[in-house]
Homo-oligomer: A and B are copies of this chain.
Amino acid sequence: DQIREYARNIIEKEIQRHAADGLGMVDYALASGGGKVMRHSEPFGKVTGSGSWLTNRNKAHADAAKMLRPSFGEPGQCFPLKGSSGFVQIKLRTAIIPEAVTLEHVAKSVAYDRSSAPKHCRVSGWLQGQDLTNPVIDTEKMFLLTEFTYDLDKSSAQTFNVLDSEASPVVDTIRLDFTSNHGSSSHTCIYRLRVHGKEPNSVSMMAMQS
């Protein structure tokens, strides 16, 4: 009976975690929470309305927001970028002290082919503030949050801690650069990118932004 109670408890806890966006961690990049894709490298293939992207390279493609939405374990719910390297730049819903990022690809068991998964990645962050006139920022402002390798043998959503969260500045924008993928020469698919952390209290924020 004690074992039954124990088993039931962890089952309920695990299902609750699963129901809470799979990880049970707040995501400041989530589209429905206010996250926005600001820029990205060249999209792949006949993505709907890609003409608008070609004529305005500083604007994100309409489908790019797929990267900031749950995939529900469905193949194809991703945004494809051309080639085996590229980048994605995301404005968070609010400024945070970043603690971790999660990169998600489609689950192994339902995927047709996972050669388009990103491999070597680095994520940087900075405080963009309201200055949206020039979305291209000084690289000196960028702070390296983490470098990692997405591993096809691990679970589909992989979380990587910020290297030195104590030292991290408050950021409202992050950029994922992938320098390789898992074999596709034509494109790399980003299923979902999440950014975790905590909101600084307003007083310290004022000081930082002034």
Contact = CB atoms under 8 A, between A and B. Distances in A.
A14 interface: yes
A18 to B, nearest CB: 5
User: How big is chain A's contact interface, by range?
Assistant: 35 or more
Interface stretch (A5-13, A40-48, A170-178): A5-13
Interface in A62-87: 70, 72-77
A106 to B, nearest CB: 9
For this chain, the copies found in one complex come to 3
Interface stretch (A19-27, A122-130, A137-145): A19-27
A16 B155 contact: yes
A62 to B, nearest CB: 16
Contacts of A108: 20
Contacts of A74: 21, 30, 32, 70
B70 A17 contact: no
- 3 A-B pairs closest in CB distance: A32-B76, A24-B109, A20-B107
